[in-house]
Amino acid sequence: TASYEMIKTEKRGDKQNVALITLNRPKALNALCDKLVSELSQAVECYDKDESVGAIIVTGSEKAFAAGADIKEMLNQTYSKNVKEGLLEAWDKITKCKKPVIAAVNGYALGGGCELAMMCDIIYAGDRAKFGQPEVTIGTIPGAGGTQRIARSCGKSKAMEICLTGNQITALEAENMGLVSKVIPADKLVDEAIKLGEKIASHSPLIIQMCKESVNVAFESSLQEGLRFEKRAFYATFATDDRKEGMTAFTEKRAPNFKNN
């Protein structure tokens, strides 16, 4: 197993089928420097390939999920270097994961930290979590999806207000606007996220992958195109053993035994 400096990785849950990745750069409130992001995307990629893992959780500390991209690292960056080197390009890798990724957010999720949470499939928030896109306060704008993903999940007015003011919003506000699916007492957050991961992992990983892919199409296409994609994927589940097993188990009044096939 890889050894990491800025993240911790472990398998959790009764069946050890939920991967837990903990961002661990406490001195900088998990600011997402190159090394942290590269370790994170490496861990995600690794668990994506690990057949024993059915869901992946990304979390931080009680104080900070992540306080953004590393401002000190970006300080002397130039436009031409950004273009030539593709500043912070590695971030996108996390969105390529085929398995469900759950963000368990305690404390600050600001700037790139908020964007990282939004790259995940589901966000659970601790009750004292704070979300925001403060880039404008330091003379730049969100660059890892903030302006786009908030607009899509919460609409124009909320996206504009969050991105143009840089104000932080509470976990409850984030839940009310649909950014977060559940708010949980801070000390229970990771356990609840693991339970969610276990629930997801109890289904056929193959079918879960198809389902995740289908939901994601909703953000990238017209309704008609999305519905067409969904229908094709739904039909395709009938080419799997797990679809047969799931429906057979239902009619036989027993639990399904999925084989990931």
| 3-state helix vs strand vs coil in the chain, percent to 5 | 50, 15, 35
> What minimum distance in Å lies between the beta carbon of 143 and ligand CO8?
3
CB of 226 to ligand CO8, least distance (A): 26
Least distance between ligand CO8 and beta carbon 119 (Å): 10
From CA 197, how far away is CA 201, in angstroms rounded?
Answer: 6
Q: At its nearest, how many Å lie between ligand CO8 and the CB of residue 48?
A: 21
Residue spans of alpha helices (H) in 112-166: 112-119, 146-154, 156-165
* Cβ proximity to ligand CO8, 108 vs 258, nearer residue: 108
Strands 18-23 and 55-59, how do they pair?
parallel
Q: Which of 154, 58, 76, 48 is nearest to 112 (CA)?
A: 58
Torsion of Cα atoms, 160 then 123 then 203 then 233, to 10°:
10
- Kindly give the residue spans of alpha helices, DSSP state H, lying in 7-88: 34-49, 71-74, 79-85
Residues identified as active-site:
69, 112, 115, 135
Spatial contact of 150 and 118, defined as CB atoms under 8 Å apart: yes
Q: Rank residues 20 and 32 by Cβ distance to ligand CO8 and give the closer one.
A: 32
Site residues, ligand CO8 (CB under 6 A): 28-29, 31, 67-72, 88, 91, 108, 110-112, 134-135, 138, 143-144
Residue 57 vs 118, nearer CB to ligand CO8 = 118
**Alpha-carbon distances, residue 139 vs 135, 147, 154, 166 (angstroms):** 6, 15, 24, 11
Q: Of 133 and 240, which has the nearer Cβ to ligand CO8? A: 133
